[in-house]
Amino acid sequence: MVHLITVQRHGAAGMPIRAKAFSVVEKAAPSGAQTGVERTLEERTVINGSVLVIDDEEMVRDVVAAILESEEIKVLVAPDGLSGIEIYRSHVNEIAVVLLDLSMPGIKGEETFRRLKEINPDVRVVLSSGYSEATSLAHFRQGGAAGFIKKPYKGEALLAILRKAAAGQETDL
């Protein structure tokens, strides 16, 4: 079952300044439990290693971490590109895939992507943005990006693209 969660933050005098919507997966049975329903190949694909989530929005990091942890996937999080690069450098041998927000203050997603590739040319990076990035995605595909997911996204879509990317399978970009 999928629940859509909308969180609204308030600024001065209680006025809403931003609203974000996220989908969270509610599992009826633990991963691997017998439910009588055949799981798809994507659902059976295990991510061997951690997922590094690099996103400047704390709410996004928290929700993504909860989704991944509900699937017993280890998660590392970074609030910005520079922190993400340092975490990746320190954990390069255990990170299976990186979920990278393209629109961040400071070091932007594109520069973060380039620096991750310098550390490990084979890094699997799924790009994420709330903006339509269609015009620049071909550039990232040529640079070796593993995929793209547009915010807001559903838990099932996030898990599917991360599993495909971690397994080295083609994803839409």
How confident is the model over 40-54, as pLDDT tens digits? Answer: 444 556 899 999 999
Name residue 92's amino acid. V
Residue 28 falls inside a structural domain: no
Residue 3 falls inside a structural domain: no
Residue 6 falls inside a structural domain: no
CA 87/CA 98 separation, integer angstroms: 11
Residue 93 CB coordination number (10 Å)? 7
Amino acid 30: pLDDT: 47
Prediction pTM value:
0.75
Closest CA to 60 of 74, 79, 73, 47: 79
Residue 120 has pLDDT above 80, yes or no: yes
Closest CA to 171 of 151, 150, 155, 63: 150
Residue 1 falls inside a structural domain: no
pLDDT, tens only, 83-114: 999 999 999 999 999 999 999 999 999 999 99
pLDDT, tens only, 126-151: 999 887 655 567 667 778 899 999 98
Residue 173 falls inside a structural domain: no
Number of independent structural domains in the chain: 1
End-to-end Cα spacing for the chain: 27
CA 143/CA 140 separation, integer angstroms: 5
Residue 162 falls inside a structural domain: yes
| Domain extent for 103 | 44-166
Residue 19 has pLDDT above 60, yes or no: no
Query: Quick one: DSSP state of residue 76?
Result: E
Residue 17 falls inside a structural domain: no
Looking at residue 66, which CATH number applies to its domain?
Answer: 3.40.50.2300
* CA angle (159 as vertex; 65, 25 as ends), nearest 5: 65
Residue 97 falls inside a structural domain: yes
